[in-house]
Each structure stands twice: as C-alpha cells, then as structure tokens.
Amino acid sequence: MEWREEGIVLGVRRQGETSVVAEVMTRSRGRHLGLIRGGRSRRLQPVLQPGNTIDVTWRARLDEHLGFMTVEPVALRAARLMENAVGLYGIQLLAAHLRLLPERDAHPRLFDTLALIVEHLDDPVAAGALILRFEIALLEELGFGLDLETCAASGAREDLVYVSPKSGRAVSREAGEPWRDKLLPLPAFLKGGDAAPGSTDVADGFRMTGFFLARHVWEPRALKEPDARLGTLGVIARSTALPRASTAE
C-alpha cells in the first residue's frame, strides 16, 4: 500500500532513539499517523513542527498497519506561529479538535479550513473568527450541526439574533424576545452578507460553540474542554480587551 499527498503536521511523538510517529491531517486520507525514521534529525526536526505543510509519502504492507512516512517540506510556518501566543495555542486547539474524529476518515472541508487558518494565526480577531467557523464545521462533521439559516419558531430568515440551546437552531428577535435570557446570542457575521467579525461577535460565537461541544462531544466522552481552547480564548480576550468568552455555560 502506498499513497502520496500534502498534509499539515498536527504533532509528533518520539519512537526509539532517532525516529518519531508523526500525525498529519490530509485532505483525502484524514488524520493519519506514520513512523518516520530519522525524524529527530537536524534536517527533519524543523520540518515536523505543528502547522507546517509537508509532502507525505506513506507506505505499508497492509492498509491497517501504522506504516512508514517519508516527508519533504512544502510550507514551513511553524517558526512564525511560535512567535505569538494565539499561534501556539491555536494550532494545539485545532489538533485537539481533529483528534475527536476517527483516524483516517476524510474530512476535506475541515482540511481546507485548517489550511486557511494556519495562514492567519498571527491576527487574534481574524484567527478567532476562523477557528469559530472551524468549530461549527466540526460539530456538523460529528453529526451535531447547527441550523443558523431559519428561525426555529417562525421559519423567518431575517433578523436572526439568537440560537436555541435546545435545538441548535436560529431564533429571530421577535420570536425569541420572551426567552432572550435563556437563548444564546448569534454573531452577526455568521449570518452571511458583508458583516465583518467584531471582537464581541467572536466572543459570543465561542460561547455558543462551547455550549454545544460540551453537551454533544466533551461530556458524553468524559472529556474536558481542551486547555488549548482556554488559552486561545484568553489570548483573544486580552488582545481585544474583552472579558474571556470561554466555555460552555
């Protein structure tokens, strides 16, 4: 068995004296592991840093085997990511999210979003908005997609400002007014159009996704919110002078 594809490095772990097991995200092969001989060498260590894009060739006798990888650099951005806190936390958070998915399952939409995010992890607000969209896409890929297009109560498509914590569906201002204290805010930029993400919108969005990730993903699996998510949200909050918009409530 053999395949070749570009992938984004999510992490590595030591294997023996000189080798590593690399974890990469690919577009058509999903999250994939492989043994890299000499992965701890001076030549390969800078290449196998989280956030880098590499050209991967994977080989194994049988498809279910761990297999061996050989890699070549394509885009080495890890050094830039390490220069700022949102880059460091952000790539760890994205890796943690992707580990919620079965290994080797293709998720091209998530790969494409990941490839876009790693180019913008030096801007806290832009990175926050992109990671938020990634979390919404992740919920959908896991079978818990949100419906933010029409009002759950009236079917209206205009003036959607809330999300129902029960159904994960949008709610219009008029329909949600009697229960607004129990509803989650729907960030304006997620409704399409030309609305640009503001820092308050990003914070509200992370409260929304955190709520549904906790209910549908973390708690059923006896998991806690990733530390990297708390770190990412803390950096965004400090950078935009907002209260921490952290987690499931």
CATH number at residue 39: 2.40.50.140
Question: What is the per-residue pLDDT across 221-232, written as a single tens digit (0 to 9) for each?
Answer: 999 999 999 999
Domain stop point among 76, 92, 115: 76
Structural domains counted in the chain: 2
- The domain in which residue 146 lies consists of 84-240
Does residue 217 surpass a pLDDT of 60? yes
- Predicted confidence (pLDDT) per residue in 144-201, tens digit: 999 999 999 999 999 999 999 999 999 999 999 999 999 999 998 887 655 567 668 8
Same domain, 72 and 98: no
pLDDT at res. 59: 97
Predicted pLDDT at 14: 95
pLDDT of residue 126 exceeding 80, the answer is: yes
Considering the domain boundaries, does residue 49 fall inside one? yes
Mean pLDDT of 116-133: 90
Whichever domain contains 88, its CATH number is 1.20.1440.120
Q: pLDDT value at position 55?
A: 98
Express as a percent the part of the chain with pLDDT over 70.
93
Q: Which residues contact 170 (CB under 8 A, 6 or more apart)?
A: 147, 148, 149, 150, 151, 152, 160, 162, 163, 164, 186
Does 60 lie in the same domain as 112?
Answer: no
* Final residue in a domain of this structure, among 25, 54, 76: 76
Q: Give the residue from 20, 54, 76 where a domain finishes.
A: 76
Task: Assess whether pLDDT exceeds 70 at residue 97.
Answer: yes
**Alpha carbon distance 7, 71 (integer Å):** 10
Q: Is the pLDDT of residue 242 over 60?
A: no
- Give the model's pLDDT for residue 182: 95
177 with 96, same domain?
yes
pLDDT greater at residue 84 or residue 93:
93
pLDDT number for residue 188: 87
224 and 102 in one domain?
A: yes
Q: Do 109 and 204 sit in the same domain of this protein?
A: yes
Least Cα distance to 122 among 82, 94, 74 occurs for 82
CB count in 10 Å sphere of residue 237: 20
Query: Is position 248 within any domain?
Result: no
| Mean pLDDT in residue range 27-49 | 97
Higher pLDDT, 246 or 205: 205
- Pair (46, 89) in one structural domain: no
- pLDDT given for residue 93 in this prediction: 97
For residue 101, pLDDT over 70 is answered with yes
- Tell me how far apart the alpha carbons of residues 64 and 80 are, in angstroms, rounded to a whole number: 35
- pLDDT over 60 at 65, yes or no: yes
Regarding whether 144 and 164 lie in a shared domain, the answer is: yes
Note the pLDDT of residue 195: 55
First to last CA, the chain: 47
The pLDDT value given to residue 189: 87
Looking at residue 224, what is its pLDDT?
96
Indicate whether 110 and 30 sit together in one domain: no
